[in-house]
Structure 1
């Protein structure tokens, strides 16, 4: 991958912003996933049941779906510097609460609140999009996403060792508290080290906050339709915790939660209509229009890329162990190491996907990555106990490349739709990634791993067809300056 136009060793100008911002994302992911590598120790010390462990894992992602939407609105209104600094500082609080918890209820509440930290990804998309031109935004967003996303793997590597270093029965508490301290300190460093835009540039903000602006009545209906799966995923998570699922919520609590979720949906619909009704009553000049289908297709693409990654990373260690333990004698530790290759590909695959999009076209690149993803998951569905373990690992890595390169290609296009709403667009696309994770993990709870992989492959084929209707960003994007003049932002 050529990075001749991006000096990764530089720490000035836009490169400083990129490094400071991917590190903020990295820390947010360390905090978000700090429980995972220590979960067995925590469960043993606090006498948690298997059902309670699964509940904590679900709660860790439950708030991320609505919080990515909310953070998208906040970053567009207040700017990424203030929003990221605040998120890291506020996110340290549930981290400390989790470290101090003495029972399941305290753990569950802290973990639920921790899901808000997972929305940090959205903020950096807007920040990087402000600092890098269209010809470099793909690789820059890829580096931001890929290197920052590695925070979850870093937590898995570092935190068990840190807990052992502290020693004693409270070692895990000190290790988790350390991640909160790091987030709190870095929130101050980030605030005083970055600016929202290059000097002399304008930070464009939406005219009204609360929902995205659309530019046609049909896009208004399309927008409302695309919000339904977000609330559907929250409903599905509630069902998992209800008496029909893991029995962690009573019937009354589950019904109450369903009512709250769908009341929020109707309030969201009201906000969407309210924010758009005034300007849609007048003709909108062609120069100021954008097509919401661009957002919708990227939603679906991220659902199948990042959504499948979330699901596969969760099940892959056990899949390798159950497939190869009896025939080839691999241990749980070896299975975990083999599976870790899927996450490690983030370091190169996501930046690679962004770079390829910059160089060879965004629609073409995304189409190829989605097709490769579909083939990759189909091949994974064919793995049996007779396969050589190394071949299975190699196929997994190859599939992972297409998955994460696809993620890079998605966010190579997100900043090129409508600058003043980049945060909200990134929030919705990012939330769809979590929706995909919820859907695919739910499918896995009912079917075999082979059927699970085929389900993802078939979903990818459908999404691949949808991608053919996306339009390559070309020409210029128009935004209105504070003095009423029109600024033209290059898209190619």
Structure 2
């Protein structure tokens, strides 16, 4: 299997199957994130139009990440059975419907329903990680997973900056504010449909071909869902998966939470206008240009030097630093110090995400889609739980961030409990040695 995969990440390659798939995958994920959080930087306008309370905004935040939990669990299973190409295409097309729908909301209730359904496109992360995992060798799979996810997550930062400008552009054309934010979401929905076409037309399920083109026996092998290391019931008993579920909630769950509340936080705490708050909030997401990839790169390096134990140790370290940086951010009262500490926190949280998914492919190769789905759902479950802190009228946003910083630091001490058998360590060392010898096309 390894000899058919790419042995290095050649970002200037747009022709080979692995790299073409890589580029379209991260671009589609970027668009999903852009659409998922497209309304977040405009929530001040929506809040005024619908006269929303802090509790209602908190409920909207929780709803925006709730549906993704179920979809991530479901799509990991589906991906193991029909392949990532069709699964991703269907998700992109379906996701455009509630994005169009939010433009027609006329009350808190209808807005809440649309926001809930938009969360389904957050499951694109599982498909992104699955697709890059089957396209790259063990030598670079952590880097490839982290880079595709990081550049996709970048959409959550870019949308904070771009959507206020799109909104302002529609205002400049003479549209009222109530129509301008709706038209901004319509433009975003068309972007999802374009990505659905590109994904179906130009990607491929596996390096050797598409699901439907492969013979039945080969299809079973490539899909990696036949009984092997364990059956599905035994898989769900693996504590390491559920520990990674919590760990990913502590990093990716925090990113989702920041994407939802950062603009409002800067408006309410520092008195910024819509565009300035969007710019400050967008700086958090822009770190995805390199931060998540950096986490994958360092995890791969630790893996080359110290095996699977090295990957786990690096994850524990960067998660602890994430919690400490969040605690620092929560205490800042001056704008420039808040932005600086937020950038440090962003660097750590996204490196922790990359490091998490540099471990995921080694938990169970036969059920990669299911494992990716469960761990990915942990990120959204974390965001759901964290969202309830921001519903509280007695807690300020800064206080809530402080509580979460302590929680993340506590979780980091549980990371070393992720262990592998000596046989597994030796097997992966052999796989790594073969991967290092593979010459990438």
Residue 360 of structure 1: CA displacement? 1.6
Deviations 1:97-134, CA, capped at 9 Å, x for gaps: 22233444433332222221111111111100000111
The match for 2:223 is: 204
Q: How does 1:123-162 map to 2 (within 5 A)?
A: 123-162=127-166
The match for 2:325 is: 376
Aligned partners of 1:7 and 1:147: how far apart in 2? 15
The match for 2:30 is: 26
Task: Kindly indicate whether the alpha-carbon contact (under 8 Å) linking 2:32 and 2:155 is maintained by their aligned counterparts in 1.
Answer: yes
The match for 1:239 is: none
Q: How does 1:12-411 map to 2 (within 5 A)?
A: 12-13=15-16, 14-44=18-48, 47-50=50-53, 53-166=57-170, 167=173, 168-169=175-176, 170-199=179-208, 202-207=221-226, 213-215=232-234, 223=237, 292-320=238-266, 334-361=276-303, 362-383=311-332, 385=333, 389-411=335-357
Residue 212 of structure 1: CA displacement? 7.2
The match for 1:467 is: 415
Q: How many residues align?
A: 397
Task: Kindly indicate whether the alpha-carbon contact (under 8 Å) linking 2:163 and 2:184 is maintained by their aligned counterparts in 1.
Answer: yes
Task: Kindly indicate whether the alpha-carbon contact (under 8 Å) linking 2:61 and 2:387 is maintained by their aligned counterparts in 1.
Answer: no
Q: How does 1:395-434 map to 2 (within 5 A)?
A: 395-434=341-380
Deviations 1:354-383, CA, capped at 9 Å, x for gaps: 010011231121021012113223333443
- Unaligned runs of 5+ residues in structure 2 are 1-6, 210-217, 304-310, 437-441
Task: Kindly indicate whether the alpha-carbon contact (under 8 Å) linking 2:160 and 2:278 is maintained by their aligned counterparts in 1.
Answer: no
Residue 491 of structure 1: CA displacement? 8.5
The 1:26–1:111 alpha-carbon spacing in structure 2 relative to 1, beyond 3 Å, is: same
Deviations 1:41-88, CA, capped at 9 Å, x for gaps: 44555x443365554443222211111111111111111000000001
The 1:180–1:382 alpha-carbon spacing in structure 2 relative to 1, beyond 3 Å, is: closer
Task: Kindly indicate whether the alpha-carbon contact (under 8 Å) linking 1:76 and 1:420 is maintained by their aligned counterparts in 2.
Answer: no
The 1:83–1:490 alpha-carbon spacing in structure 2 relative to 1, beyond 3 Å, is: farther
SS of residue in 2 equivalent to 1:301: helix
Residue 344 of structure 1: CA displacement? 1.7
SS of residue in 2 equivalent to 1:131: coil
Aligned partners of 2:150 and 2:27: how far apart in 1? 11
SS of residue in 1 equivalent to 2:414: helix
SS of residue in 2 equivalent to 1:423: helix
Aligned partners of 2:94 and 2:268: how far apart in 1? 40
Aligned partners of 2:99 and 2:265: how far apart in 1? 30
TM-score normalised by length of structure 2: 0.80
Aligned partners of 1:356 and 1:488: how far apart in 2? 15
SS of residue in 2 equivalent to 1:468: helix
The 1:55–1:404 alpha-carbon spacing in structure 2 relative to 1, beyond 3 Å, is: same
The 1:213–1:58 alpha-carbon spacing in structure 2 relative to 1, beyond 3 Å, is: same
The match for 2:306 is: none
The 1:177–1:378 alpha-carbon spacing in structure 2 relative to 1, beyond 3 Å, is: closer
Aligned partners of 1:104 and 1:323: how far apart in 2? 24
The 1:172–1:448 alpha-carbon spacing in structure 2 relative to 1, beyond 3 Å, is: closer
The match for 1:243 is: none
The 1:454–1:162 alpha-carbon spacing in structure 2 relative to 1, beyond 3 Å, is: closer
Q: 2:383 aligns with which of 418, 423, 437?
A: 437
Compare 464-473 and 431-440 and name the one that shifted more. 464-473
The match for 1:456 is: 404
Task: Kindly indicate whether the alpha-carbon contact (under 8 Å) linking 1:307 and 1:433 is maintained by their aligned counterparts in 2.
Answer: yes
Task: Kindly indicate whether the alpha-carbon contact (under 8 Å) linking 2:321 and 2:348 is maintained by their aligned counterparts in 1.
Answer: yes
Residue 319 of structure 1: CA displacement? 4.6
The 1:304–1:338 alpha-carbon spacing in structure 2 relative to 1, beyond 3 Å, is: same
Structure with the greater alpha carbon radius of gyration? 1
The 1:395–1:428 alpha-carbon spacing in structure 2 relative to 1, beyond 3 Å, is: same
Deviations 1:317-368, CA, capped at 9 Å, x for gaps: 455566556xxxx667545533432222122110100010011231121021
